[in-house]
Amino acid sequence: MTPKSSKIVIIGGGPVGLMAAQILSETPAFDVHLYEQKPSVGRKFLLAGRGGLNLTHSEDSTRFAARFGKDEALFKTLMERFSPADLRDWAQQLGVDTFVGSSGRIFPTEMKATGLVRAWTKKLTEQGVTFHLQHRFLSFSEDRTVTFEGPDGHPVEVQADALLFGLGGASYPHLGSRGDWTDEFERHGLEMAPFRPTNCGFHVLWSRFILDRFEGMPLKNIRLEHEGNTSRGDMVVARYGLEGGALYALARPLAETLDREGQATLNIDLRPDMDLPEVEQRLSQPRGKASLSSFLKKTLKLTPLEIALLQEFSGPPQSGAAALAERIKKIPAEISGIRPIERAISSAGGIAMNEVDSGMMLKSRPGIFIGGEMMDWEAPTGGYLLQGCFSMAVAAADGIRHWLDQTPATNG
């Protein structure tokens, strides 16, 4: 049996840590240890799977990479190393079949994360990964010594040949992502960005009529626009305001406007598959004795919620075809605030992306690697966020392997 000569310590039991552990533990000479502060791994991953685990997306690579905004070029490169097709193959190897939904999103056939996480952790155990649960990260040093608070409350010190941090961001703190590691990384002189919520809902001051009649109801297949930024998809009326994938895609520009001006306008196009002249033409038909609501239902199939929104943000709808068509194509919803970060699906902020090299290693701390939401990048839900984390994990695992190939081991 080949002796294990290089000790790898992975901190964080989310997608980044688990994927890197799987790849690295395939090499017999690597002794892989994964530390997690909770009693089990993959907790946020499991939560994401409650409504149908959206692993990745089927759209073409150019459009996919563009979802990462300012980091488009980086993630294009990362996904060339581990693509959506590779992610589906990985799931298949764990015995989990996937399918492409009508929206282009890719899901496990059972629409849950439990089976995948069970098969995943079983594989890691079979490959010799050692799990250290209920170990809370405290500090690290340049020689790759890490200090944890152990299950009994006493400090635990571990020295490694290579370290990978996948600590998460600052959303869902009850699942372990509290962002409380930032002071330690700032102490090491790393450039940091403040955490901010992404993929989150926004506050709207609804009338009592909207709340009583339409709370929890969806707006389907709409187009949203804010200051030139657009998205399409669905949105839901919540008691506090609005939430949903179409809105999450505009979280950053909306948040920036709120920070700058204290309020923001979100323009809603209720019929994005029709241009303005077509909507106007349909509304130019004789109305007869029908009420305006009945007329809008008949000519454009507007739902009661969509009709209510016409009045909610702009007063009673005008009956003129041209003015009414413009309203339907551009309802100005007034956004008054953003949901707190602990209520967000994900967060941006953390360690600046320019602190790491192409293998996700800190340029100033050789042998120490970073990945996932603890870095300052963002992507919308719909599979983009998870794909980004998986692709970063693969790059980090490759970077660790390359580093250890060039560096003599200190742990035997």
**For residue 1, pLDDT beyond 50:** no
| Reported confidence tier of residue 225, pLDDT bands at 50, 70, 90 | very high
Q: What is the amino acid identity at position 312? A: E
**For residue 412, pLDDT beyond 80:** no
Mind listing the pLDDT tens digit for each residue in 344-360? 889 999 999 999 999 99
State the average pLDDT over residues 98-120: 91
Mind listing the pLDDT tens digit for each residue in 121-138? 999 999 999 999 999 999
Residue 2 has a pLDDT of: 45
Query: Which tokens sit at 193?
Result: 């960005």
CB atoms near residue 211 (< 10 Å): 13
State the average pLDDT over residues 244-266: 93
Mind listing the pLDDT tens digit for each residue in 137-153? 999 999 999 999 999 99
Angle at which helices 321-329 and 304-314 cross, to 10°: 100
Q: From CA 399, how far away is CA 249, in angstroms rounded?
A: 31
Which of 307, 294, 348 lies closest to 217 in space, CA to CA? 307
Record the pTM: 0.88
Residue 376 has a pLDDT of: 96
CB atoms near residue 19 (< 10 Å): 27
Residue 99 has a pLDDT of: 95
Radius of gyration of the chain (CA): 24
Which of 118, 113, 134 lies closest to 47 in space, CA to CA? 113
User: SS3 letters for 6-17?
Assistant: EEEEEECCCHHH
State the average pLDDT over residues 94-121: 92
Residue 406 has a pLDDT of: 87
Mind listing the pLDDT tens digit for each residue in 385-396? 999 999 999 999
Q: From CA 276, how far away is CA 160, in angstroms rounded?
A: 63
> In this structure, are residues 238 and 343 in contact, taking their beta carbons and an 8 Å threshold?
no
Residue 409 has a pLDDT of: 57
Q: From CA 252, how far away is CA 163, in angstroms rounded?
A: 31
Mind listing the pLDDT tens digit for each residue in 161-202? 999 999 998 887 777 777 889 999 999 999 999 999 999 999
In this structure, is the dihedral angle defined by the CA atoms of residues 13, 15, 16 and 20, taken in order, positive or negative?
A: positive
Mind listing the pLDDT tens digit for each residue in 259-293? 999 999 999 999 999 999 999 999 999 988 888 89
Residue 49 has a pLDDT of: 57
Query: Any idea what DSSP says for residue 212?
Result: H
